Amino acid sequence: MATSASRTKFKDIINTGFGANTNAEGGRLVNPDGSNNLKKTGMPLYERISIYHTLLRMSRFKFMIAILFFYTSINLFFAFIYFAIGVNHLSGIDINHPIWMRFVEAFFFSSQTLTTVGYGHVAPSGLLTNFVASTESLLGILAFAVVTGLIYGRFSRPKAYLLFSKNMLIAPYRGSKALMIRLATYKNNHLTDAEAQLTVAMHVMEDGKKITRFYQLPLEISRVTSLALSWTVVHPINEDSPLANLTEEQMNEAKLEIILSIKAFDDHFSNTVQQRTSYSHNQLVYGARFLPMFDRAREGAYTILELDKINHHEKVVIVEDVTG
């Protein structure tokens, strides 16, 4: 366990938004996807959840399932209403058909009304049925306008599209060692003026109590003009590093969590994009270095960036400085 005395010469960060009481923590602070690892309580679920933000951030598969579920539920709801009123008020449906077939026909009439397709095979008759059908048509227009806006928002929302290595490495670096994390863009977007910020959260003992301290980790290069190829973010572990003199066992005991934040400018959207990720101490590989992940094409006309090799590394020996 790292002691507070061994870290006193490094200035810690107190404005991270995370508390220092690790007794109240549950696992890591930040998830690998960059979201905070917490759940909020004390208020009703409908007040704590933003449906709009949830639909924007969910995966494409879940989004399509949500739209299909909403569409099916609305049609089932109105099909039950038409069935309760009586399918005899829907001209074109044979009342002598089995009950399940009549309900299916009411369901498909509802889908045609909701989408304002209106094939004309089945039509409402009577004041109540026409009122329900007109209400459903209005709901359909509003619902599809909302869905269209959500689809546009999902496609037009700027995103960094960054791929991070699965592990962080402690590798040899200029006669000493350094913490290294590799990243690259995996879409055909172009990011410029990319900035990296690395923060470490570590458990220390202070006055006999375990607390969490946060430290900013200086980088070899904190900004690159263009993020065309991969970028290995390097924090030299020297006398100015909060990780100085920590062995592999001590890093694990301190339960290191490294938070990497990337901010860049996207040429396509003409907007600033951000993405962050987190590495826990069990994702640390001590004594390793990344292998090259790009090469020149055979004809030499372009460079090949092999994204599947972003986490490829090999074990190496780190010579520890025992003079200090």
**For 269-322, what is each residue's pLDDT tens digit?**
888 999 999 999 999 999 999 999 988 887 878 889 899 999 999 999 887 654
The answer to whether 217 touches 235, Cβ cutoff 8 Å, is yes
Query: What are 268's two structure tokens?
Result: 């396509």
- Amino acid 194: pLDDT: 95
Residue with tokens 């090799």: 309
Enumerate the H helices of 45-116 as residue ranges.
Answer: 45-48, 51-57, 60-85, 99-114
- Amino acid 168: pLDDT: 95
> Regarding predicted confidence, which is higher, 15 or 222?
222
- Amino acid 24: pLDDT: 43
* Over residues 170-181, mean pLDDT: 93
- How far, rounded to the nearest angstrom, does the alpha carbon of residue 299 sit from its chain's CA centroid? 38
Share of residues in the chain with pLDDT > 70 (%): 90
**For 107-116, what is each residue's pLDDT tens digit?**
999 999 998 8
Amino acid found at 172: P
**For 105-145, what is each residue's pLDDT tens digit?**
999 999 999 988 877 788 888 899 999 999 999 999 999 99
Asked if the model's pLDDT at residue 225 lies above 90, the reply is yes
Distance set, CA 37 to CA 18, 42, 248, 311 (Å):
11, 17, 25, 24
Phi/psi at 99 (5° precision): -60, -40
- Amino acid 324: pLDDT: 45
Asked if the model's pLDDT at residue 22 lies above 60, the reply is no
**For 77-109, what is each residue's pLDDT tens digit?**
999 999 899 888 888 888 888 989 989 999 999
* Over residues 172-187, mean pLDDT: 93
**For 255-266, what is each residue's pLDDT tens digit?**
899 999 999 999
Q: What is the DSSP string of 236-258?
A: EESTTSTTTT--HHHHHHTT-EE
Tally DSSP H helices, then E strands, for the chain: 6, 17
Phi/psi at 100 (5° precision): -70, -35
Give 23's contacts (C-beta < 8 A, 6+ positions apart): 210
- Amino acid 311: pLDDT: 96
- Amino acid 81: pLDDT: 94
The answer to whether 229 touches 305, Cβ cutoff 8 Å, is yes
Asked if the model's pLDDT at residue 12 lies above 70, the reply is no
Domains in the chain (CATH in brackets) are 11-22+159-315 (2.60.40.1400), 58-156 (1.10.287.70)
The answer to whether 263 touches 273, Cβ cutoff 8 Å, is yes
Asked if the model's pLDDT at residue 27 lies above 60, the reply is yes
This prediction has a pTM of 0.77
Most distant CA pair in the chain, distance = 95
The answer to whether 273 touches 264, Cβ cutoff 8 Å, is yes
Q: Mean pLDDT for the chain?
A: 86
Q: Is the dihedral of CA 311, 315, 321, 322 positive or negative?
A: positive
